[in-house]
Amino acid sequence: MEPHEEKPIIYTMENKPIVTCAGDQNLFTALYGSLTQQLPREPMEWRRSYGRAPKMIYLEANFVQFKEELLPKEGNKALLTFPFLHIYWTDCCDTEVYKASVKEDMQRWQAALRLHGSVDWLIAVVESDNKKKNKTNILPRTSIVDKIRNDFCNKQSDRCVSLCDPLKESSRSQESWSSFLTKLRTLLLMSFTRNLGRFEDDMRTLREKRTEPGWSFCDYFMVQEELAFVFEMLQQFEEALVQYDELDALFTQYVLNFGAGDGANWLGSFCQPVRSWNGLLLRRPIDMEKRDLIQRGEASLLDLRSYLFSRQCTLLIFLQRPWEVTARALELLHNCVQELRLLEVCFSPPVFQTCLGRFWAVFGACFRYLGLPRVWGVLGVFRTSLGHISDKSGVFLGCSPYKKLKEALSSVEAFEKHYLVSVRSLGDPQSAENFLLDSLKSYVSESWSLPLTHTRKQIAECQKQLQKMDEYLQTSALLASDTNLSEEERRHFCQEILTFASQTAEGKGQQKDARVALSMSSVTRLQELCFRPSSALVHVSAALLLELRLCSLMPVPVTLEHISASIHFTEEQPGSTAQKRAAQNPDGTVTFPAASPASASALELCEMLEHSPSDNTLSSAGLACRNMHLLMRRNDSATSLDTPNTALTALALEDGAQMLRASDVTLSPGNNSIVFTAPPGVYTLRQLCATLGRVQLVLPHLYPVVQYEVYSQEPQLSIQPLTVSHLVCVVVSEHLLAGLPQQVKFTILTGHYSVKKGDALQLSNTDSMPVLHSSTRSARILSSSAELVAESALSIQSSEKVTSISLPVTPPYHTLEFLLDVLCHIPSCPARMESERLTNGQISHRTRSRTRFNSGMTLIDQKVSVDCPWSIYSTLVSLTFHVPFKVKHSLLSVGRRKFIQVCLQNVSDTNFRLTNQTLTENQHTPSLELLSLNTTTHSLVFRQQCVFSVWELRWSGVSPVSLHCEFSASFAPADAPDAALKPYRYHFTLERVSIRPAEGEQDCRTGALCRLEVSLTRLSEPSDSDEEYSDTDGLRTTRLLYEVIDNNSNWAVCGKSSGVVSMPVAAMATHKVHMEVMPLFAGHLPFPSIRLFKYLPHHASPVIPPDTDSCLENDSLSLDDQAETASLRSRGSVQSLGSGESAQPRGPMPKRQAFGPGQVFNGTQGQQVLVLPAADHHLMEVNVT
Amino acid sequence: MAVCIAVIAKENYPLYIRSVPTQGELKFHYTVHTSLDVVEEKISGVGKALADQRELYLGLLYPTEDYKVYGYMTNSKVKFVIVVDSSNTSLRDNEIRSMFRKLHNSFTDVMCNPFYNPGDPIQSKAFDSIVSTMMVQAF
């Protein structure tokens, strides 16, 4: 091979178009500097043939001395060495000299050019003032330039230019330089256009001949590359690249055609087996070795490809588009493989792999040029290529996130660290594992199951090599349950776990953590949890079974030593547990959702209602997210739970927790069920743990929250009115009605107590509420879930004091129900009871009657004392009865006739039938007659309505002072038979008050004082609660305040009009008060009205807060505006009441309290007294006609 | 004809992948998964102005020595990937386009099924048969 130095061409990028210089060498040398400097200063527009777009081009030139050899010989296609322009330099200004020597020299030069067909020439004449001064005989008309033009440039006057004073800094010199350079550029471009055009034509002709035998691609390659070189030389890298791309495409097409059976002879040289590939060399712009090989037709396919690629890369980098390098590199890689196959080139993978190694180096070099926006593109290229390498060589490369790539791109070393290591990572499982885990993450997050399985398998391989047993087992567990694997593979991984599990801890030496915890979710799937009974709420002695339904994903049956569920004692109110058990179906099953990435990220919202502790009103309401801790955690740092590494740390077993345990459980592939028995208490299930030798399978969290409750309960007795009445009434009252037989329901929750044979409830009898006997009573026994267990007869024995109900045998935690008929007598008004001793030695509480005026019903509380067999204490049960009627009576007068009207109001919601209304007089006064004016004996009284009955009172002789009457009637619900009629009685007393005239006088007279005797009679003995007693001299008395007022100004009360009397507490005790009154008018005057109040001394705190007008205050100022009491004060009548109390202006005041309606009977109401006019001191004429 | 056809959800998990049974299924999974990066790059459109937003066809995603991978993305960012044997030079761009169009139509039908829950793997006989017509018949 010839040494390169002998060739005149230097293949560097410093190549410039060659311009030869002939003539005066010294002159040129002087101008050379400024010429090369100024030529590229301004661009020229280069118009192209074939419609190609014109380009602005900066011209440079390599000026060499003209030699004959430089001129291309015929057939030489070398363009780089082609002299595009020939310049003849002269500074001759003397015609003589010109004619003598210069002209001759020029002619020789011209002849040489013409010989080689070169028409691109220029004659430069340098004019200098210095020379002109010396030569005075210059003709101004015909200069040397003109002469030269005449001699050489026929028709081409522009081929001769003059340059004036080029070395001087004058404007004229500048001007001439500028025009000279323009000329030079124009001519150069003309030469380019002409020569390149011709070259291209030749090249095209050559290409057309490619179907002819003997045509060689290598030859053509050299030709077209020559053109590319020129473009490159002219800085037209785009054009140059096009040349190479055309070559590339042509070659590719040939190979494809070859594959299609259209072979060309010249392709034979490319079919030789690949023995080696030295890789790519991008440092040198042109790989001359390869080029030589191509020139000689000895290049292999890879040589050609890599040479082509290196040239393309060079141009791309000149074009500042290095990213295309990577894309093209990839293409190259694929093309090469493809073409090698098509050409049936023998090819061995190791060679390819070493080739790739070099290929990466190329990448590494390229990456340094890259900016970040392109990184993803690079990554894309990367992934694809790496994916295929992994196919070819069995090495896997992970794709890596952006950050890592960025880091990798920062330096070649880092790049190699991140990516290239993997190529060689077969020897380094540690880094391989990391890469695999990286890629695993992406597969998991995008749920690509097949690549996931494959990657996991590789990870398992690495972990096994690294002896990372925990991780390896976890991966194995996942693989064993992976359905993408074959049965055989799954068995293998399953066996790995089992083998490890059966190894004894000693075999491994001193290992502190002998047990390995694996995530249970990888091996089994918890599908359902089922409670029996379904409520998950049982009492202590009953069995609560908990059935777990696990689906084993293992390929073989696995025998677990035991499986345990850890439970957490929950101290919560029973009410809140119901809320927690929301996930539970009514049939007691809890279905666990299949773990999927989608469901894991879903919001789990629950309602939150907060009640204020004081009055249980809603204080706040809101929504709470239960799995916030999962959703809100940072995504980048915390890895998914599916990756085995992190899952292991979360598998911390809760120690010391209570366990539900089941031993020797075999999990066969598919569904299994495991039954646990629950201990008492309120518990929440927390974890599941299966032990298998040294391996523990742990399910760290159970979601949804599952709770159960095993409780203990005391027996309870409750008595309630039977809400569903047996009456077919329109409105069913939920009250118990007094006077009618009523059903009450006894409910006994047995709790932990079991009712034995002979156990009985002892009810203390009271007279006012007897228990009615009925022969057929039965008790129902209900289980805790309200199912009817049994029904048995109830036997009731009753003695004088006690009613004993013997209970049927009832197991614990059952409900015993039975009904009992009771009757509450209506006490005749007012109700009063003797205190009595009950049989069991307890003082019974007095039954009380109280009146609620707002509801209009009188209530009777009946306390029943019940002795229960399970307790030594009696249970006191309160029943409230409602008196259905309210009776009022009134005395009506017509002249001297008196009528008694009784109004009976039905205050209940039940309609009643009323019969036999009678009014009797208790004292059986013979002169008295009560005549019924009622037409019907039967009447219906509807709810909330009244029935009126009227009797006329007839008497002979003196009217009785008081009448003790009793109204009685029988009543029954409207639709009940006559047998159900119950009596109703009402007692009342009528009394009489009289005014007697003064002693000795027959009649009262106007203006004369009369004596008024007020007679107060206690008709009934008061109940102790009703009135205040004061003990004076051992006599129990009640203090009453009386007041005589005449509102109609008929009477003038003289002296004391009011006072306090002490009434002895005894029936018929009478207190008479005498006072003086003066009638002011004559005629039949009504009696002055007498008001009666209870007088409460100040020390007794009144039960009912007094009204303001019922206050008797000694402080006179406070009474000013009270008109009613004003009269009292003016008469000073009160002063006598409390002399000591007047000293206390404010303080506990004595109170007066009005009597209830019907409590006071005014005997003189409606009576009149005859008052005669005063003694006739004046004459009064009475004319009688 | 195609050797592998895949439908990828917006979130990049596979809704449907079918490949010719003769070659490794795993390999196609890798191929399709890898292609998603190229899709990502193409649609992110950094550096070049997106000519037509309505153009769903993404063209050749990348060639491998064995296969050519073509991509298509619906407006709802569901990606279709068709893998074609590299040796199959008879397939023109237009034919690939029409395959995608057919696939898209069939996919639309699947989505219109009221019993189909969007996001679930596609299990549809009609879709299967359309895919079958585009796949290389295994012999």
| pLDDT tops 80 at residue A995 | no
CB A685 within 8 A of CB A586: no
Judged by CB atoms closer than 8 Å, whether chains meet at A598 and B37 is answered as no
Per-residue pLDDT at A368: 43
Per-residue pLDDT at B8: 93
Per-residue pLDDT at A654: 54
Alpha-carbon distance of A939 to A231, in angstroms, equals 132
Question: Mean pLDDT across chain A, nearest whole number?
Answer: 69
Full-model pTM: 0.45
Q: What is the mean pLDDT of residues A1039-1066?
A: 75
Per-residue pLDDT at A1128: 34
Work out the pLDDT band at A388, boundaries 50, 70, 90: very low
Judged by CB atoms closer than 8 Å, whether chains meet at B11 and A450 is answered as no
Alpha-carbon distance of A660 to A567, in angstroms, equals 7
Distance of CA A246 to the CA centre of its chain: 63
Per-residue pLDDT at A132: 56
Q: Using alpha carbons only, how large is chain A's radius of gyration in Å?
A: 65
Judged by CB atoms closer than 8 Å, whether chains meet at B12 and A337 is answered as no
Of A334, A446, A454, the CB nearest to B64: A334
Judged by CB atoms closer than 8 Å, whether chains meet at B11 and A380 is answered as no
| pLDDT tops 60 at residue A141 | no
Fill in the DSSP letter of residue A413: H
Interface size A-B, in CB pairs within 8 Å, comes to: 69
Judged by CB atoms closer than 8 Å, whether chains meet at B11 and A451 is answered as no
Alpha-helix runs per DSSP H in A833-898 = none
Per-residue pLDDT at A416: 46
Of A376, A399, A454, the CB nearest to B26: A454
Alpha-carbon distance of A204 to A212, in angstroms, equals 14
Q: Using alpha carbons only, how large is chain B's radius of gyration in Å?
A: 14
The model's pLDDT over A828-851, given as tens digits with 9 standing for 90+, comes to: 544 333 333 333 333 333 334 443
Alpha-carbon distance of A366 to A313, in angstroms, equals 10
DSSP A420-446: IHHHTGGG-HHHHHHHHHHHHHHHHHT
Q: What are phi and psi of A38, to 5 degrees?
A: -90, -20
DSSP helix/strand/coil, A553 = coil
B58 vs chain A: nearest CA distance in angstroms? 15
A590 vs chain B: nearest CA distance in angstroms? 25
Work out the pLDDT band at A348, boundaries 50, 70, 90: low
Judged by CB atoms closer than 8 Å, whether chains meet at A388 and B64 is answered as yes
- Report the length, in residues, of chain B: 139
Q: What are phi and psi of B40, to 5 degrees?
A: -55, -45
Longest dimension (CA), chain A: 202
Which is more confident, A359 or A937? Answer: A937
Segment (H or E) for A366: helix A349-367
Per-residue pLDDT at A503: 79
ipTM: 0.85
- Report yes or no: B11 at the A interface, CB cutoff 8 Å: yes
Of A884, A995, A989, A901, nearest to A944 (Cα)? A884
Write out the two tokens for A1131: 């008469």
CB A536 within 8 A of CB A584: yes
Work out the pLDDT band at A567, boundaries 50, 70, 90: confident
Of A966, A962, A981, A983, nearest to A1162 (Cα)? A962
CB B134 within 8 A of CB B120: no
Per-residue pLDDT at B131: 92
DSSP helix/strand/coil, A905 = strand
Which is more confident, A131 or A199? Answer: A199
Alpha-carbon distance of A630 to A602, in angstroms, equals 10
Alpha-carbon distance of A469 to A268, in angstroms, equals 57
Write out the two tokens for A1153: 């309290």
Per-residue pLDDT at A772: 75
* β-strands A788-793, A83-90 pairing: unpaired
Looking at residue A846, its amino acid is R
Judged by CB atoms closer than 8 Å, whether chains meet at B63 and A334 is answered as yes
| Weakest mean pLDDT among A665-679, A797-811, A1030-1044, B47-61 | A1030-1044
Chain A residues whose CB is inside 8 A of the B25 CB are 450
Q: What are phi and psi of A853, to 5 degrees?
A: -75, -25
Neighbours of A448 (CB within 10 A): 23
Q: How far is CA B73 from CA A378, B18, B114, in A?
A: 21, 18, 23
A172 vs chain B: nearest CA distance in angstroms? 51
DSSP A965-1012: EEEEEEEEETTS-GGG-EEEEEEEEEE---B-PPTT-SSEETTS-EEE
Judged by CB atoms closer than 8 Å, whether chains meet at B33 and A443 is answered as yes
Residues A849-883: b if buried by 16+ CB within 10 A, e if exposed:
beeeeeeebbbbebbbbbbbebeeebbebebebbb
Looking at residue A646, its amino acid is T
Alpha-carbon distance of A161 to A153, in angstroms, equals 11
CB-based contacts of B21-25 (< 8 A; 24+ apart in sequence): B21/B138, B22/B138, B25/A450
The model's pLDDT over A649-674, given as tens digits with 9 standing for 90+, comes to: 444 555 556 778 888 888 888 888 88
CB B7 within 8 A of CB B18: no
- Report the length, in residues, of chain A: 1185
| pLDDT tops 80 at residue A424 | no
Sign of CA dihedral A992, A998, A1002, A1007: negative
* β-strands A716-721, A1010-1017 pairing: unpaired
Of A374, A376, A450, the CB nearest to B26: A450
Q: How far is CA A1144 from CA A1116, A1140, B52, in A?
A: 12, 8, 105
Contacts of A796 (CB under 8 A, 6+ apart): A771, A773, A777, A803, A804, A805, A806, A820
Q: What is the mean pLDDT of residues A636-658?
A: 46
Alpha-carbon distance of A790 to A771, in angstroms, equals 25
Residue with tokens 């208490």: A681
Select the highest-mean-pLDDT range: A413-422, A498-507, A828-837, A851-860.
A498-507
Sign of CA dihedral A241, A242, A247, A251: positive
Judged by CB atoms closer than 8 Å, whether chains meet at A380 and B38 is answered as yes
Alpha-carbon distance of A898 to A892, in angstroms, equals 6
Chain A residues whose CB is inside 8 A of the B46 CB are 373-374, 376
Give me the percent of chain A exceeding a pLDDT of 90.
0
CB A563 within 8 A of CB A690: yes
A337 vs chain B: nearest CA distance in angstroms? 6
| Weakest mean pLDDT among A516-530, A534-548, A1099-1113, B72-86 | A1099-1113
Q: How far is CA B138 from CA A844, B16, B30, B85, in A?
A: 100, 19, 21, 13
| pLDDT tops 70 at residue A928 | yes
A244 vs chain B: nearest CA distance in angstroms? 21
Judged by CB atoms closer than 8 Å, whether chains meet at B44 and A454 is answered as no
| pLDDT tops 70 at residue B95 | yes
Q: What is the mean pLDDT of residues A464-469?
A: 84
DSSP H helix total and E strand total for chain B: 3, 5
Per-residue pLDDT at A1127: 34
Q: How far is CA A636 from CA A496, A627, A632, in A?
A: 33, 18, 12
Give the CB-side neighbour count of residue A576, counting CA atoms within 13 A: 13
Work out the pLDDT band at A595, boundaries 50, 70, 90: low
The model's pLDDT over A75-95, given as tens digits with 9 standing for 90+, comes to: 666 777 778 888 888 877 777
Judged by CB atoms closer than 8 Å, whether chains meet at A446 and B33 is answered as yes
Judged by CB atoms closer than 8 Å, whether chains meet at A380 and B44 is answered as no
Alpha-carbon distance of B56 to B105, in angstroms, equals 13
The model's pLDDT over A740-795, given as tens digits with 9 standing for 90+, comes to: 777 788 888 877 777 888 788 888 877 777 777 665 677 888 877 777 878 887 77
Of A385, A670, A661, nearest to A554 (Cα)? A670
Work out the pLDDT band at B126, boundaries 50, 70, 90: very high
Residue with tokens 């005669």: A1172
Fill in the DSSP letter of residue A501: H
CB-based contacts of A926-934 (< 8 A; 24+ apart in sequence): A927/A955, A927/A956, A927/A957, A927/A960, A928/A953, A928/A954, A928/A955, A928/A960, A928/A963, A929/A953, A929/A954, A929/A955, A930/A900, A930/A954, A930/A965, A933/A899
Residue with tokens 């000519």: B51
DSSP A1034-1089: TEEEEEEEEEEE-TTSSEEEES--EEEEEEESSTT-EEEEEEEEEE-S-EEEEPPE
B119 vs chain A: nearest CA distance in angstroms? 10
Per-residue pLDDT at A986: 67
| Weakest mean pLDDT among A96-110, A552-566, A1139-1153 | A1139-1153
Residue with tokens 């029988």: A970
CB A776 within 8 A of CB A856: no
Of B26, B46, B65, the CB nearest to A451: B26
The model's pLDDT over A52-62, given as tens digits with 9 standing for 90+, comes to: 778 888 888 88
DSSP H helix total and E strand total for chain A: 25, 52
The model's pLDDT over A438-448, given as tens digits with 9 standing for 90+, comes to: 878 888 888 88
Q: What is the mean pLDDT of residues A1172-1178?
A: 59
Give me the percent of chain B exceeding a pLDDT of 70.
88
The model's pLDDT over A704-737, given as tens digits with 9 standing for 90+, comes to: 777 777 777 777 777 777 654 443 333 334 577 7
Q: What is the mean pLDDT of residues A518-545?
A: 77
Contacts of A861 (CB under 8 A, 6+ apart): A847, A848, A850, A878, A879, A880, A881
A475 vs chain B: nearest CA distance in angstroms? 19
| pLDDT tops 50 at residue A1110 | no
Burial of A787 (0-12, 13-18, 19+ CB in 10 A): exposed
